[in-house]
A and B are shown apart, each in its own frame.
Chain A
Amino acid sequence: NAGVTQTPKFQVLKTGQSMTLQCAQDMNHEYMSWYRQDPGMGLRLIHYSVGAGITDQGEVPNGYNVSRSTTEDFPLRLLSAAPSQTSVYFCASSYSTRTSYEQYFGPGTRLTVT
Chain B
Amino acid sequence: KQEVTQIPAALSVPEGENLVLNCSFTDSAIYNLQWFRQDHGKGLTSLLLIQSSQREQTSGRLNASLDKSSGRSTLYIAASQPGDSATYLCAVARGDNYGQNFVFGPGTRLSVLP
Contact = CB atoms under 8 A, between A and B. Distances in A.
Interface stretch (B13-21, B61-69, B78-86, B95-103): B95-103
B85 to A, nearest CB: 18
Q: Is the interface of B mostly helix, strand, loop or mixed?
A: strand
A50 B100 contact: yes
Interface in A38-77: 40-45, 48, 50, 58
Max count, chain A CB within 10 A of own CB: residue among B32, B43, B51, B98:
B43
A43 B104 contact: yes
Nearest to B106: A42
B28 interface: no
B46 A103 contact: yes
Nearest to B99: A98
Interface in A10-62: 31, 33, 35, 40-45, 48, 50, 58
A42 B101 contact: no
Interface string A91-114: 010101011111111111000000
B105 to A, nearest CB: 6
A28 B22 CA distance: 33
A44 B89 CA distance: 13
B46 A50 contact: no
Contact of B100 (A94, A104, A106): A94
B51 A43 contact: no
Contacts of B100: 31, 33, 48, 50, 94, 96, 101
A9 B83 CA distance: 24
A35 B36 CA distance: 15
A101 B50 CA distance: 10
